[in-house]
Amino acid sequence: MMTLLFAFLIGLFAGLRSIVTPAVTSWAVYLGWLKLQHPLSLIGSLPSVVILTVIAVGELVADKLPKTPNRTSPLGLIARIVTGAVTGACIATGGGQEALPGALLGALGGVVGCFAGYQARTRLVKALSKPDIYVALVEDIVAIAGCLWIVSRF
């Protein structure tokens, strides 16, 4: 049961940072923390690790730019649903569960994380009267640390 909760939570973190989640998952598979069977094991291949890490770093930078689209825009939401589903499936199978329930819970987590993260960030910026970048950096830390915590459970 905990594995399915972790599948939802990894999706929740995908709602905060869409590419960080598969990047951390790819590292976990590459380092042997998370054991997956083919075809999901491909996320842990060296090319996947490199590509996802580079894109994740780009995402962390792009998120701070003023012209970056809202995460709740259709493209941003779809990205979070897809990465939540893929990483949810990885977490579920890594924990001995079926991929489909993990994918569904990860996708649901992606939607919840997308909208909850947006609301939390905009409200915190207003409440703290601080520039958005400070709250965004804390959100980065939460997403990365949360993903690392989840993948280290296996």
CA angle 115, 118, 123 (to 5 degrees): 125
How confident is the model over 87-106, as pLDDT tens digits?
A: 999 999 999 999 999 999 99
Largest CA distance in the chain: 48
Percent of all residues in the chain with a pLDDT value above 70, rounded to a whole number: 100
Model pTM score: 0.94
Average pLDDT over residues 79-88: 98
Write down the pLDDT at residue 1: 85
